Chain A
Amino acid sequence: MTVEPTHLISVLTPDHPGIVHALVKTLDAQGAIAGEVSQTVVAGAFTIALVVAIPDGVDPAELAQELATAAGAGASATLLPMSAAPRACGGVASVAGAARAERYLLTAIAADDDENALSTITRAVSDRNGNFVDFASQRSEHGLRLVAELELANGDGLTDLQDALSEIAASVPGRTVRLQHERLFAATSEVAFRRLGR
């Protein structure tokens, strides 16, 4: 966005058609401009996070409340000033001190009764200063399936983290945990090769 963002607003509401339009219409009415937006539905709950530029003269708290109202019954909104929010919302060059962060995809499959797989895996990443930038997991009768994108500063610690994840995978039958460079999945999934940059 060309206008400096001022706030990060998140909205949580039971999913139904028309929510995004209702939110954007509310922002427009107040002269607020949405920049980066990320939205997903988890277990029937609609969640959205919007980076917005709220003009002077508009009360951010009131705008957040209007957004919650627009989102429908049972909705709630949370407001965070950008001065308090991480400025890395867009590029996520957020691994502390990293000149360049390499992105990797962490994938895991585990049995449905493997209850601590998620906590074990995320702890291993956290302990090695890995930074999740996108995370999606689902537990069903078929078990756990996790796909997460994470950053490692300059690719540092990759081998160490891979070793730790291999141990985690080997410790419980049925677990598979892999950490591979994101470019592999881009190459095999996207028509254009340009993301690879070489």
Chain B
Amino acid sequence: MIRTDAVFDTLRMLQEEKLDVRTATLGIDLHDCASRDAGTLAERIRTKIARVAGGFVTATRKLEREYGIPIVNRRIAVSPIAQVAAGHDTKALVAVARALDAAAADVGVDLVGGYGAHVQKASTRAAEALIEALPEALSTTSRVCGYVQVASSRTGINMDAVNRMAQAILDIAHADAANDGFAAAKLVVFANLPDDNPFMAGATHGTGEADATINIGVSGPGVVQRALERLVQQADAAASASGSAQHGATLSDIAEEIKLTSFRITRVGELMGRELAAALGVRFGIIDLSLAPTPAVGDSIGEILQAMGILRVGAPGSTAAVAMLNDAVKKGGAFASSSVGGLSGAFIPVMEDATLAAAAEAGWLTVDKLEAMTSVCSVGLDMLPVAGDLSPTTLAGLMADEMAIGMINGKTTATRIVPVPGKKAGEHVSYGGLFGASMIMHVRESDPNDRFAAFGGRIPAPLNALKN
């Protein structure tokens, strides 16, 4: 039998430290739903999702029971809708969003992702139509999440698309002003989006994927935090007992502990993913090991950084700490599984992490510091509430900066920026649940006459794209 202490270690992770499967995401290819008739397209999408995902929720409930592991979210990711709906106009794209929303409700999942377009180099008419449809599509549905890829390391940054998305985000937020612009929280702008991302709002079922695939997103910030706290306490106690003036634990020890913990978290995800895929008769795709916080105490990236000795998150040292955390998480995950994919790293979504939100409120965590931190972790400026009257120029600049980090470093970066209509920096916004609450962040406005983003065109692909 497995060692008793190992058994209770696993139980502690589950019972006391909030280890869970953050999302089981069923990827579904929808290309075979294409039709010249918009009504037929929408109906085929709804029918196919019902057929493929009909037993999805029941299967996850059974696994939860058998393994005693909570699966927090059940989601569906579909093929990029701008491809599935090629040839259709904005009105049809809105109808597709409603069909997705209804299909998600039919099968009992909370969100459906993939309402997106890839325009990193240029746009198709369908991509233009989808972007045009975003304000209505996201503000009049409850389960649909969208994304637009505007940059990649291979293509550079499509600044026309960046400008277009800056205006679209403002339009989405104002279309949902009654809900403080919440609809904008369902949209991510990406550089280097992976094809198998299971996390919302940017989940998708990209090209090169199977007809249907189970991808798993595991989390567990609380597990890492508690492991580090135990390590430091025990090492300090040992050092004290031996009369040493030095701290007991070093950063190397901390990195090792994060790796070990990540290994175990990843294994939980792989087990659940394989079992779920087998139960549904579909392929098992990837484990996305991302430390994704929630607003709950004990489920925070900020608290991990505090356990690592950064008491004021955002203060000098924070970027180095996040870099070490992110790297150790990846190493532990990669050793645990050959199926690690998606985003896999540490998220720093301001609103969804109470400690980060508190740090922002206290003035330690600024947009500039967040941007620096995103250069070494996943994924980007995430759940960042800004003033509703932020200028499109400033918003485009923020996005361009974040995309540049991804483009040059060959990594995924993203923005999920939420303009809050009618509110200024320093005021507060709350969306409740997993989406959390925060002070609206201060952003230095660009000069109204700034022309950099407005030049448009494309920031060329970097030299490191020339690898062939």
> CB distance B1 to A189 under 8 Å?
no
How does the 8 Å CB contact mask read for B13-26 relative to A, with 1 for contact and 0 for none?
A: 10100000000000
List the B residue with the shortest CB-CB distance to A189.
B6
For chain A, residues 163 to 198, give those with C-beta under 8 angstroms from any C-beta of chain B: 176, 178-190, 193, 196, 198
List the B residue with the shortest CB-CB distance to A179.
B68
Contact partners of A176 in chain B: CB under 8 A: 15
Contact partners of A190 in chain B: CB under 8 A: 2
How far does the alpha carbon of A179 sit from the alpha carbon of B65 in the complex, in Å?
9
Is B252 an interface residue, CB under 8 A from the partner? Answer: no
Contact of A187 among B4, B15, B68, B268 (CB under 8 A): B268
Is B195 an interface residue, CB under 8 A from the partner? Answer: no
State whether A158 and B65 are in contact (beta carbons under 8 Å apart), knowing that A188-B264, A193-B267 are contacts in the complex: yes
Secondary structure of the A side of the interface? mixed
Contact partners of A182 in chain B: CB under 8 A: 2
The total of interchain contacts (Cβ-Cβ below 8 angstroms) comes to 74
Chain A binder among B50-58, B269-277, B325-333, B381-389: B269-277
For the complex, count residues of B whose C-beta is within 8 A of A: 27
> CB distance A134 to B1 under 8 Å?
yes
> CB distance A149 to B1 under 8 Å?
yes
For chain B, residues 308 to 365, give those with C-beta under 8 angstroms from any C-beta of chain A: 336-337
Question: How many Å from the CB of B261 to the closest CB on chain A?
Answer: 10
Is A107 an interface residue, CB under 8 A from the partner? Answer: yes
How does the 8 Å CB contact mask read for A108-134 relative to B, with 1 for contact and 0 for none?
A: 000000000000000000000000001
How far does the alpha carbon of A181 sit from the alpha carbon of B14 in the complex, in Å?
14
- Can you give 8 contacting A-B residue pairs, CB < 8 Å? A179-B68, A181-B67, A184-B10, A187-B271, A188-B267, A189-B9, A189-B264, A198-B274
Q: A147-B4, A179-B68, A188-B268 are in contact. List 16 more A-B contacts (CB 8 A).
A: A105-B7, A134-B1, A147-B1, A155-B66, A178-B11, A180-B68, A183-B67, A184-B268, A184-B271, A187-B270, A187-B271, A188-B13, A189-B3, A189-B264, A193-B336, A196-B274
* Chain B interface residues (CB < 8 Å from chain A): 1-4, 6-11, 13, 15, 65-69, 264, 267-268, 270-271, 274-275, 278, 336-337
